[in-house]
Amino acid sequence: MNWRGKIAITLKLRKEFSFMKKIAVFCGAAEGESPRYTAAAQQLGKYLANHQMGLVYGGGKYGLMGQIATAVLESGGYVEGIIPQNLADRGASYSAISKLEVVENMPVRKQRMMELADGFVALPGGPGTLEEIAEVYSWSLIGENAKPCALYNVAHYYDALQEFYDRMVKNGFLAKPAREKLLFSDSLDEIFQFINSYTPPAIRQY
């Protein structure tokens, strides 16, 4: 193939990627104790690529972050990473991804991910993962985020959190219709059916 052909293919791919749906995935910079977490990250990465959806994530090369990014790339997909400068300076960034954006700090990283993504999925992770998915979901309840949020409940990892959200409803701190706008599931098909059919929650009137 000559250079003109290569340029044409590159431009075609860029055009396709610019119009594709992008999913932000929040997940741990560790792999966790169970190999099921790594397998799930890889499965989700392949699913995104095979369904022509791009990945937006935290830009790291370690843990489940690195696993899902590699899976998307190896399946021919698009990966966009957003990483704060302090983590990039410590060698955490994954330079081989499709696009890497280094930003000032963690709040800017979260804001950019919210701007770029068409939906949000949380894999297993630690406090940072919980904070990220909780923030985008809570913003949907006040009209600041009209995009779907789901937790990939691998090996029952999020069972206790799911029960806690249900307890919020029972105790009057979360409306049932709003609770139904946050999905916990161990099925990727169910997660993406939820994402594709999502309508934002009604905004609370005080």
Q: Mean pLDDT, 10 residues at a time, over the chain (206 residues)? A: 44 47 96 97 98 97 98 98 96 95 97 97 98 97 95 99 98 96 98 95 79
155 domain residue, yes or no: yes
115 domain residue, yes or no: yes
9 domain residue, yes or no: no
17 domain residue, yes or no: no
8 domain residue, yes or no: no
Cα 159 to Cα 58, 78, 91, 187, 200: the distances in Å are 24, 31, 34, 14, 24
**Which pLDDT value is given to residue 205?**
76
Residues 6+ apart with CB under 8 A from 65: 27, 28, 29, 57, 58, 59, 94
Q: Phi, psi (5° rounding) for residue 23?
A: -115, 125
Q: 88 lies in which domain range?
A: 22-196
How many domains does the chain fold into? 1
3-state secondary structure 81-102: EEEEHHHHHCCCECCCCCEEEE
202 domain residue, yes or no: no
187 domain residue, yes or no: yes
The end-to-end CA distance of the chain, in Å, is 63
13 domain residue, yes or no: no
**Which pLDDT value is given to residue 2?**
46
Q: Phi, psi (5° rounding) for residue 108?
A: -65, -40
Distance between CA 23 and CA 116 in Å, rounded? Answer: 8
For residue 45, what is the domain's CATH number? 3.40.50.450
